[in-house]
Copies of this chain bind each other. A is one copy, B any other.
Amino acid sequence: MFLIDQRSRKPIYEQIVDNVKNLIISGSLKRNDQLPSVRQLAQELSINPNTIQRAYAELEREGVTYSLKGRGSFVGSSLNDLRTSETEELLDDIFKTCISLQKMLCPKDRIIKKVEEAYNVGEGVDKRD
Write the residues of chain A forming the contact surface with B, with a CB cutoff of 8 angstroms.
6-7, 11-12, 22, 25-26, 66, 68-69, 83, 86-87, 90-91, 93-106, 108, 110-112, 114-119, 121-123, 126
Contact = CB atoms under 8 A, between A and B. Distances in A.
Nearest to A10: B69
A118 B104 contact: no
Number of this chain's copies in the assembly equals 4
Contacts of A119: 98, 102, 108
Contacts of A106: 87, 90-91
B90 A97 contact: yes
B91 A111 contact: yes
Residue among A7, A12, A86, A101 facing the most chain B CB atoms (10 A cut-off)? A101
